[in-house]
Amino acid sequence: MIGKVITKIKQTVSKIKMWAGLFFIIMAFPILDLQNILGNLGGIFGGIGGKGSAKAAPANVFKKVLSHADWWDTALESGSGLILCKAGVYTVIGRYKVPAQQTFHFGFGSPAYPDNQGYLYVALYDDTATNSVLENGAVRLVQRNATGTVQLVVAEFRTEQLAGDVADRNKQIALPEQVQFPLVGEDSYLEIHFKADAIDSLISVAVGTAAAKDIWNVPVSCYQ
């Protein structure tokens, strides 16, 4: 009888030691970085992650607005300073290659704080000789991986919506950070695609009365 009691006491002491050890670990490490533990779930489920494997989004986000000069790529040109856009077909008219050790989302901020979220403005002009004319059609914001095998359409708008008023935020399209999409990693691309209503060529620098009006302002979130 005494032997059974002693065995029971030893078992109880062993359990107490186990729980005490767990309590010590919890107290020693009170804050767990769940992002680092779970990783970037978007990257796991077919995300566009650049060179490396899925990684957690870094804590330091930098808000940026990519302009016309950031988007225009001479490698996309069909002629000097021109990009031919066929009617009813999406054409890549702008792309931004993600630099080393950075990841991106389209948009910045949150709709919960409209004064601090991003706003989208894009005005596309053709190559009319004297005075460039606004082009009409559909515009898509696209994420694409480095090899071109995976792409995600983040948003689609009409040009009439995008070229509201560059000086009036109330006439622009709100674009908060698109966190529902995976982060775009190193060597992958953010792109602008355009489906023209009628065949025409976009010009890199608008002329005449349209001079300096060919503004492409696209908000993005940069993690580094």
Which tens digits make up the pLDDT trace of 119-177? 999 999 999 999 999 999 999 999 999 999 999 999 999 999 999 999 999 999 999 99
pLDDT reported for residue 4:
53
**CATH annotation of 38-223:** 2.60.120.1170
Cα–Cα distances in angstroms (integers) from residue 27 to residues 24, 31, 167, 199, in the given order:
5, 9, 53, 66
**Whether 219 contacts 101, CB under 8 Å:** no
Domains of the chain, by residue range, sit at 2-30, 38-223
Contact 205, 123 (CB under 8 A): no
Predicted local distance difference test score (pLDDT) of residue 59:
62
- In the block, tokens 């031919």 appear at 84
Q: What residues pair up with 219 in beta bridges, in sequence order?
A: 65
**CB-based contacts of 100, cutoff 8 Å, min separation 6:** 186
Residues 196, 199: Cα–Cα separation, whole Å: 6
Helix, coil or strand: residue 150? coil
Give pLDDT tens digits for 210-221.
999 999 999 999
| pLDDT for the residue 11 | 58
Number of H helices, E strands in the chain: 5, 11
pLDDT at position 45 is 31
pLDDT at residue number 80: 96
Place of tokens 């894009």: 122
How confident is the model over 182-194, as a mean pLDDT? 97
Query: Helix, strand or coil for residue 221?
Result: strand
At residue 195 the predicted structure's pLDDT band, cuts being 50, 70 and 90, is very high
What integer pLDDT is reported at residue 15 of this predicted model? 56
pLDDT digits 0-9 by tens, 1-57? 555 544 555 555 465 555 455 444 344 434 334 343 333 433 433 345 554 333 445
Using CA atoms in the order 87, 69, 58, 100, what is the torsion angle rounded to 10 degrees?
100
Which pLDDT score, from 0 to 100, does residue 12 have? 57
Model-level pTM?
0.76
- CA dist., res. 90 & res. 193, Å (int): 6
Which tens digits make up the pLDDT trace of 89-122? Answer: 999 999 999 999 999 999 999 999 999 999 999 9
